[in-house]
């Protein structure tokens, strides 16, 4: 094998020295000097101050993360770590926020390379001509209202002196390696703190979630309009319709849409979405649009594909709706996180007894050492919502699962019933039915505000809404 035989890995043609030289000159400056600060820039400073106050005298390092390979030389579309965006407002790849022991913040970024280097036309991942224009350091500084430095200076900025340092690990392998010596138990506490600081949403964040819910509501209406076309194709058609709305008005979907017709509704995270859409069946749609600021909604509705619930479908739907009502009634500052789940499960356990499927009394099934009703409820009744669909998942149980609701929490309420198609312990007519209503809720000083009230809750209202949209 000759040396040139080993020149593999690209389908690009070689660049002659003359072309390389020619490409370097004749370009306009293009720096944008008059960029206003982004709206979020007024909020990120106070967030960083809260983080610093939690760990005063320590250096704190929060990376955005980089491109993740999908296959071969293709990457997934980049999405930064939520803590990084929350603290900076930035969404570019490879950035690293450093908060110094005195609280001063610097954002290390991979800026647009100038056109005296060949990166702009040679680099398929980062080059302007391949990937689009990245911001310069000056542009990012103006938009984000935080000092910026080149990523290449990160290593020297972090070296020198024994500064106590905490790192959000597992996000950027280069940062993990650079600060391998500083790794310790403090990093786990740091990751938990970054999640816990985001539990209570500020006013700007609440506005973003409201936008996500509004886009999602329009996406659900699109899905109803598309039901005739889906009946000729598959669940995929509806997945695409919702995704179009999410991309058009937002950034993306906040998680893979669950488009579950017929018995697929009994699979909690059905995302293959390749089944038929048939009159007489139900469609369970669990989907959320992510705003361009990266906040997501997470809403579920169950729709009768024909436009009308059967009597049995209606009974089950209304049972889930009553469980959801019972959960909502528990929501107020100071209430235990687990209280709304318990309230919903009590309604469902009694409902399951009425359906004749419980092998014991509902109270026996609800006992701590039993839980037999859970064969048909399967999961918890809600989770925090925000930049991530399962927001703040790294928070300690004492502040979340075993904690109490606070004003400014945003969460989902989604008790459901799931009857597997192969469950021999239930009547045949229940098999393959899955039912869930999922609401997005803000905890307020005097209780809660239903954010997802642009979509119908009651069975009759679902039918009327579908009829109005389809006609």
Q: Which residues bind Mn ion (CB under 5 A)?
A: 298, 412
**Element holding 448 (H helix, E strand):** strand 447-450
Q: Are strands 148-150 and 105-109 parallel, antiparallel or unpaired?
A: parallel
Nearest approach in angstroms of CB 273 to Mn ion is 17
CB-nearer residue toward Mn ion: 90 or 391 = 391
Write the DSSP symbol of residue 389: S
Nearest approach in angstroms of CB 279 to Mn ion is 28
C-alpha 288/C-alpha 294 separation (Å) is 11
Nearest approach in angstroms of CB 193 to Mn ion is 24
Nearest approach in angstroms of CB 383 to Mn ion is 6
CB-nearer residue toward Mn ion: 210 or 438 = 438
Q: Burial letters for 293-304: b for 16+ Cβ neighbours within 10 Å, e otherwise?
A: bbbbbbbbbbbb
Nearest approach in angstroms of CB 459 to Mn ion is 21
Number of residues that make up the chain: 471
Nearest approach in angstroms of CB 319 to Mn ion is 19
Nearest approach in angstroms of CB 217 to Mn ion is 16
Phi-psi region of 259 (alpha: psi -120 to 50; beta: other; left: phi over 0): beta
Nearest approach in angstroms of CB 298 to Mn ion is 4
**Angle in degrees, CA 89, 60, 35, rounded to 5:** 25
**Element holding 348 (H helix, E strand):** helix 337-354
Which residue, 128, 195, 120, is CA-closest to 390? 195
**Element holding 223 (H helix, E strand):** helix 203-225
Which residue, 329, 327, 333, is CA-closest to 445? 333
Residue with smallest beta-carbon separation from Mn ion: 298
Residue 9 CB contacts under 8 Å (≥ 6 apart), including other chains: none
CB-nearer residue toward Mn ion: 277 or 299 = 299
CB-nearer residue toward Mn ion: 138 or 380 = 380
Nearest approach in angstroms of CB 243 to Mn ion is 18
CB-nearer residue toward Mn ion: 58 or 252 = 252
Q: Helices then strands (H, E): number in the chain?
A: 16, 17
Phi-psi region of 424 (alpha: psi -120 to 50; beta: other; left: phi over 0): alpha
Cα dihedral across residues 170, 173, 178, 181: positive or negative? positive
CB-nearer residue toward Mn ion: 111 or 288 = 288
C-alpha 371: how far from chain center: 30
Which residue, 212, 200, 395, 418, is CA-closest to 295? 212
Residue 91 CB contacts under 8 Å (≥ 6 apart), including other chains: 64, 78, 80, 85, 294
Sheet order of strands, 96-99 included: 148-150, 105-109, 96-99, 59-63, 165-167
CB-nearer residue toward Mn ion: 235 or 438 = 438
Nearest approach in angstroms of CB 91 to Mn ion is 24
CB-nearer residue toward Mn ion: 298 or 391 = 298
């Amino acid at each position: 094998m000759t040396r040139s035989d080993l020149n593999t890995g690209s389908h690009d043609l070689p660049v002659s020295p003359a072309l390389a030289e020619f490409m370097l000159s004749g370009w306009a400056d293009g720096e944008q000097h008059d960029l206003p600060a982004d709206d979020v820039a007024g909020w990120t400073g106070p967030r960083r101050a809260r983080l610093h106050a939690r760990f005063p005298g320590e250096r704190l390092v929060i990376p955005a993360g980089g491109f993740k390979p999908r296959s071969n030389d293709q990457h997934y579309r980049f999405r930064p770590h939520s803590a990084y965006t929350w603290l900076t407002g930035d969404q570019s790849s490879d950035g690293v926020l450093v908060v110094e022991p005195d609280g001063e913040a610097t954002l290390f970024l991979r800026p647009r390379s100038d056109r005296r280097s060949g990166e702009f036309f040679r680099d398929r991942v980062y080059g302007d001509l391949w990937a689009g224009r990245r911001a310069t350091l000056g542009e990012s500084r103006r938009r984000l209202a935080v000092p910026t430095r080149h990523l290449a200076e990160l290593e020297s900025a972090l070296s020198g002196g024994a500064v106590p340092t905490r790192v959000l690990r597992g996000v950027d392998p280069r940062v993990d390696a650079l600060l391998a010596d500083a790794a310790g138990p403090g990093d786990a506490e740091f990751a938990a703190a970054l999640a816990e600081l985001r539990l209570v949403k500020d006013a700007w964040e609440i506005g973003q979630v409201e936008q996500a819910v509004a886009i999602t509501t329009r996406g659900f209406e699109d899905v109803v309009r598309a039901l005739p076309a889906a009946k000729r194709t598959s669940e995929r058609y509806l997945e695409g319709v919702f995704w179009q709305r999410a991309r058009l008005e937002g950034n993306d979907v906040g998680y893979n849409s669950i488009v579950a017709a017929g018995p697929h509704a009994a699979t909690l995270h059905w995302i293959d979405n390749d089944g038929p859409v048939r009159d007489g069946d139900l469609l369970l749609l669990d989907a959320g649009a992510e705003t361009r600021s990266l906040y997501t909604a997470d809403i579920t509705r169950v729709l009768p594909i024909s436009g009308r619930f059967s009597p049995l479908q209606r009974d089950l739907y209304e049972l889930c709706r009553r469980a959801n009502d019972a959960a909502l009634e528990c929501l107020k500052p100071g209430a235990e996180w687990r209280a709304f789940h318990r309230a919903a499960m009590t309604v469902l356990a009694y409902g399951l007894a009425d359906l004749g499927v419980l092998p014991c009394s509902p109270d026996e099934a609800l006992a701590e050492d039993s839980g037999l009703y859970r064969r048909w409820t399967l999961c918890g009744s809600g989770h925090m919502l925000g930049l991530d669909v399962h927001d703040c998942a790294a928070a300690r149980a004492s502040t979340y699962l075993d904690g109490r609701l606070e004003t400014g929490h945003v969460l989902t309420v989604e008790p459901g019933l799931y009857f597997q198609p192969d469950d021999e312990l239930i009547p045949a007519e229940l098999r393959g039915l899955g039912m869930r209503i999922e609401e997005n809720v803000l905890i307020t000083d005097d209780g809660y505000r239903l954010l997802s009230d642009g979509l119908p809750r009651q069975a009759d209202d679902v039918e009327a809404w579908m009829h109005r949209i389809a006609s």
